[in-house]
Amino acid sequence: MQQYDFLVEKNFTESYLRYRDAPIAIREAKCLEQMYPDIFEDIKAGDKFAGRIKMSLIGFSPEPGGLGYYCNTPAIRRHLEENEYTDVFRAEMEDMIAFWEKEKTQVKVRNAFPPEIAKALPSDNWGKEPLAAAPLYRMAGSYLDYGKLLDNGIEGLEKTVAKRKEAAKAQGEETELFEAMEMALQLLSRCCMYYYRQALGMAEAQEDAEKKAEWEEISGALKNVASQKPQTLREAMQLMWLYALISGTINYGRMDVLFGDYLAKDLEEQRLTMEQGQELFNGLWQLIADRRTTWNGRVILGGRGRKNEKNADRAALLAIEASRVIKEGEPQLTLRFYEGMDSRLMEKALETIGEGRTYPMLYNDDVNIPAVSNAFRISTEEAEDYVPFGCGEYVINHKSFGSPNGVINLLKVLEIMLHNGMDGMTGIEAGIRTGYFSEFKSFDELWEAYTKQVQYFIDALAVQEELEYRVMGETAPCLYLSMLYDDCIERGKAIFAGGIKYLGGTVETYGNVNTADSLTAIKEMVYDKKLLTPAQLLAALDADFEGYEKEKHLLESVPKYGNDDSKADDMAVKVHEHICNTVRAQIEKVKLHSYLVVIINNSANTTMGQLTAASADGRKKGLHMANANNPWSGNDKKGLTALLNSLVKLRPDFHAGAVQNMKFSPELFRDGGAVVKSVLKTYFDNGGTQAMISVVNRNDLEQAMIHPEKYSNLFVRVGGFSARFVELEKAVQREIVSRTLY
């Protein structure tokens, strides 16, 4: 392996130091010039477009490399340990690390925490430490107005920025933001030409006529979009893709709307056949997959509010087919459906899901649009442009931001409450003093103590979210985001400094269902039937049920969420409504347009579960927690209809996304297709918001754990993302196997 030269990192650092005291927009533009095109990777044989990237170990991005100005110290140190460098070079690198460990944006955010926030959120290491809540450092979930980019091209955007700069100058306003935007657009154009020269060289060196023509098409598209606006589907895809890479955007938006008209025009003018159009979609899909963002890569299809529905539908069919034939975990294809939509899209979607692809995920517009309108406090028309990003968090397409910058483990909060503010695993103070379990004379008193603990952590997370945006806004304008987000250019402000229309935040909640089931068990066994005393229950939990098998059996016998049982489901509703309302009410305290719960779950239900004590639902210490809104492993024992009836009881209109994972057998999908369609239709008609479906049999999952080399194309829905089953950690694999298979 070639020794890493750290050239980009050194040049980036030198540029940052040179422009450290310059206006932050100019500094960002100058630093980006040291990253691009150097971190772009070569076009590979078979690629339909230019654009591969490997993030530098020191640099700038909203999310992919780290928050804002970032430094990947562990990776740098690994290179230094594994390769031979001179002592002088090592000393230089250590000096560079020392500088960035004080200067990187994440550190500035953490250092800005007021004492009370630092106490509530004492560590960032939620994957290794038993924390109830922790901050996340990122500007996640950007969805850019690629339509604006394609309609104007680079040259047109430059004119828009120049015009706004002149207006600012005439009004005596600062112009540095616009000057930096111009620099960023010029850099994008140079990157197009960088790849143009590379593709042209490949064309000239190619002897095979067909391959030569392909390279010439790639080079021609790059040369054209370096200045003028795209005229063809290939050019539109190429410009959009390079902008996504250079901007640090890892979710891609409503592609059927974006590319539908280009496809239609190419077909009409006979520049493309449908087969050639399919090849372009396949090529773009492969590049998205190879970027390997794991939890992101969202592509949205369908949905109300499309101005070009007929053309968009045609593009959507190609997109679904691309997800069928490109067997990868990304893009995370998402189909928004609604009453009156072209039926071919749903038919194609179910066919693809039935083949085990897990895509597309299905989102019910007829429920989600009014829910989003209420949750985000926006008009129905604006809500029609909702887009799920990452693991399923909603934002409004190029109008709002809702980065999930905090996590809370509700089951850990319950554990802390039962131990009067102390962590049940470590004995360390972790929350606030709300009284001893034995002192609560009624379930209502216990519930009140639980809500106070939740409030304590949510108050801190909301302040942290607002603070993170503020520090980011003071540090850098995120030029490429600001140019393609509504109102930023018009207002003359960067996205996180007052430019964006709706600046919101979200918090990821985990352990919701286990918390509800635990509270149901506590209420029934301790307060209603009085079969256990608080002391007995606490002793059983602290012993991880060792020697308390009778108590464990009693707790497990209590009704569980997911069986259409009113006792269990009512508690799930109570927990759900409390956390959603508590989080949503934070906008009265912090300067955000919205602050909402997301119940999306990646594999963190497993990671956090490993750091959570035994719980009153009968779950043992260290076991995974339920995934998102789903019942805990195998607790849904009354069948699919009962499960779906439980799911729809949880209101969708005051949060920013929740995940419903379902696991069906291939036999049911193949032999009972009509049954599956009927059950899903009833679920959606009854208020189901969405469905993420894995079609797989249990034997394949179990065999894949033993013989992974034989099951490389076995895909599963983990939480808010899909993955090759054999690439998941064993604990996550076991959690997936434990889910009920229908």
Predicted confidence (pLDDT) per residue in 380-410, tens digit: 999 999 999 999 999 999 999 999 999 999 9
One DSSP character per residue, 492-555 reads T--IIIIISSEEEEEEEEE-HHHHHHHHHHHIIIIIIS--S-HHHHHHHHHTTTTT-HHHHHHH
Average pLDDT over residues 131-137: 98
Nearest alpha carbon to residue 629 among 607, 655, 611 = 655
- Rounded Cα–Cα distance for residues 460 and 113 (Å): 10
Q: Determine the 3-state secondary structure of 740 from DSSP.
A: coil
- How many Cβ atoms sit within 10 Å of the Cβ of residue 373? 18
Query: Mean pLDDT for the chain?
Result: 96
The answer to whether the beta carbons of residues 477 and 497 sit under 8 Å apart is yes
pLDDT value of residue 740: 85
Average pLDDT over residues 476-487: 99
Beta bridge partners of 408: 133, 509
CA distances from 303 to 23, 336, 405 (A): 41, 5, 28
Q: How confident is the model at residue 37 (pLDDT cuts 50, 70, 90)?
A: very high
The answer to whether the beta carbons of residues 133 and 117 sit under 8 Å apart is no
pLDDT value of residue 22: 98
Q: Determine the 3-state secondary structure of 307 from DSSP.
A: coil
Give me 672's structure tokens. 């009972």
Biggest CA-to-CA distance, the chain: 85
List the Cα angle 506/512/518 in 5-degree steps: 155
Does 416 have pLDDT greater than 80? yes
Q: How confident is the model at residue 674 (pLDDT cuts 50, 70, 90)?
A: confident
pLDDT value of residue 691: 95
Q: How confident is the model at residue 189 (pLDDT cuts 50, 70, 90)?
A: very high
Summary count for the chain: helices (H), strands (E):
30, 18
- Rounded Cα–Cα distance for residues 634 and 627 (Å): 12
Give me 505's structure tokens. 């935040």
- Residue 540: φ, ψ to 5°: -65, -40
pLDDT digits (tens, 9 = 90+) for 621-660: 999 999 999 999 889 999 999 999 999 999 999 999 999 9
CA distances from 439 to 79, 428, 454, 455, 663 (A): 56, 21, 19, 21, 43
pLDDT value of residue 250: 98
* Residue 735, C-beta contacts closer than 8 angstroms, at least 6 positions apart: 603, 605, 606, 624, 627, 633
Average pLDDT over residues 350-362: 95
pLDDT value of residue 476: 98
Give me 172's structure tokens. 């005596």
- Rounded Cα–Cα distance for residues 484 and 45 (Å): 32
pLDDT digits (tens, 9 = 90+) for 689-736: 999 999 999 899 999 999 999 999 899 988 778 899 999 999 999 999
Rg (CA), the chain: 26
Say which residue, 719 or 259, is predicted with more confidence: 259
Does 278 have pLDDT greater than 70? yes
Beta bridge partners of 595: 505
Average pLDDT over residues 140-149: 98
pLDDT value of residue 727: 93
- How many Cβ atoms sit within 10 Å of the Cβ of residue 313? 18
Nearest alpha carbon to residue 346 among 671, 676, 695 = 676
Domain layout of the chain by residue ranges: 7-115, 401-659
CA distances from 554 to 153, 424, 544, 558, 616 (A): 66, 21, 15, 7, 10
The answer to whether the beta carbons of residues 239 and 191 sit under 8 Å apart is no
* Neighbour order of strands in the sheet with 502-510: 133-135, 400-409, 502-510, 594-598
Q: Determine the 3-state secondary structure of 686 from DSSP.
A: coil
- 10 Å CB burial of residue 282 (0-12, 13-18, 19+) is middle
- Rounded Cα–Cα distance for residues 510 and 507 (Å): 10
Helices (H), 359-510: 365-376, 380-383, 410-418, 443-475, 479-483, 488-491
Nearest alpha carbon to residue 618 among 698, 532, 702 = 532
Q: Sign of dihedral through CA atoms 127, 130, 132, 133?
A: negative
pLDDT digits (tens, 9 = 90+) for 499-557: 999 999 999 999 999 999 999 999 999 999 999 999 999 999 999 999 999 999 999 99
pLDDT digits (tens, 9 = 90+) for 38-87: 999 999 999 999 999 999 999 999 999 999 999 999 999 999 999 999 99
pLDDT value of residue 1: 54
pLDDT value of residue 600: 87
Does 130 have pLDDT greater than 80? yes
